[in-house]
Amino acid sequence: MRVDASGIAIRGKNQSFFLEDHPQYHSQALAMRKEYVVPVLLGPRLPLRKPGEGQSEQWSRYALTLFKPWRAPACLKSREESWSVAYASYASTIPERWKNVLDNMDTLSASREI
């Protein structure tokens, strides 16, 4: 990241800064990739979505965290609502392409249980 003579960061093309109250606001910037990449999720496998039983709380939390734009946890759901209710409210706005990705992730998790 480039800085001017006074040490203030200069935003380059395709870069944006964090919000002002973010601890890395003055030292870091976000950049958009020029080419598509396939992210690889590391860690425990995603929980299974259980058809017919509604969305499990854990699965709904993962889906919202990965696919709903957010800056703070309060953007994902209100304190009063469950993860399942928050996902159900958001589900109708999810683009079809992302729904396919969610289905594929669920299929992959199910195949690992066999």
**Per-residue model confidence as pLDDT tens digits over 78-114:** 999 999 999 999 999 999 999 999 998 888 888 876 6
In a domain, 46, yes or no: no
pLDDT band at residue 11 using 50, 70 and 90 as cut-offs: low
Given a cut of 90, whether residue 57 has pLDDT beyond it is no
With beta carbons less than 8 A apart as the criterion, state whether 85 and 57 touch. no
Q: Which runs of consecutive H residues, i.e. helices, occur in the chain?
A: 57-67, 83-91, 96-112
Identify the pLDDT of residue 112: 72
Q: Are residues 63 and 94 in the same domain?
A: yes
50 domain residue, yes or no: no
**Residues 105, 67: one domain?**
yes
